[in-house]
Amino acid sequence: MTQQPLRGVTSLHFNQDQSCFCCAMETGVRIYNVEPLMEKGHLDHEQVGSVGLVEMLHRSNLLALVGGGSSPKFSEISVLIWDDAREGKDSKDKLVLEFTFTKPVLAVRMRHDKIVIVLRNRIYVYSFPDSPRKLF
């Protein structure tokens, strides 16, 4: 008997206007259009590992990723901003920003001008995306 790969969804989030949703999965990330329902794109397990959280900025090429699941490539204490439009074959070429903390990240939300990162006992608000600085 062959072992089936894990395909569990670890989180699911709609973008700001509910026109798309992103699934963070044990096998990577899947991005879907709502109307009509169809896959827009995906990041495979080889690129990002298993992902705990993913957030998409509107209908753009920017994704916020947090590692999680059974075989993460990235840490659960870091938020990584992935730019899918950037050229490069290696996943490191697509990572444009990183926010690292001492505790696991529980939630991430993005706007065109800010990113909010939630930990168990703190909420951080940064300016975003150009030269991020902590606002609150």
pLDDT band at 66; cut points 50, 70, 90: very high
Mean pLDDT for 6-20 is 85
pLDDT at 23 (0 to 100): 92
**Both tokens of residue 69?**
């699941």
Does the global pTM surpass 0.85?
no
- The partner residues of 12 in beta bridges, in order of sequence, read 23
Q: Are 66 and 105 in contact (CB under 8 A)?
A: yes
**Both tokens of residue 74?**
């990235």
pLDDT at 1 (0 to 100): 45
- 3-state class of 27 per DSSP? coil
Q: Which of 38, 35, 87, 37 is nearest to 61 (CA)?
A: 87
Mean pLDDT (the chain) is: 86
Q: What's the burial of 130, exposed, middle or buried (CB within 10 Å: 0-12/13-18/19+)?
A: exposed
Residue ranges of domains in the chain: 9-109
d(CA 47, CA 59): 21
d(CA 73, CA 26): 11
d(CA 37, CA 108): 24
> pLDDT tens, 71-90?
888 889 999 988 877 666 66
d(CA 98, CA 3): 34
pLDDT above 80 for 19: yes
